[in-house]
Amino acid sequence: MPFIQVTFIEGRTKEQKERLIEEMSKTVSSVLDAPLETVRVCLNEIPSSHWGIAGKSIQRRQNEE
């Protein structure tokens, strides 16, 4: 049973997340020759204040722009 985890900064629409789940599931099913029913997807949305690059949160970096 393939299990896919995707981590990204929050802010995507419900429709975008639904499409991501659908497309990733189809692709993994095809590439791994696994039944679509066995593919699992977990989306981890992270607040921009919880994700850092080069010593600063993304939220802080955006505020400094």
Active site residues: 2
Q: Residue 46 pairs with which residues in a beta bridge? A: 9
Bridge-based pairing of strands 52-53 and 56-57 is: antiparallel
Tokens of 57: 């949160």
Can you tell me the distance from the alpha carbon of 5 to that of 49, in angstroms, rounded to the nearest whole number? 20
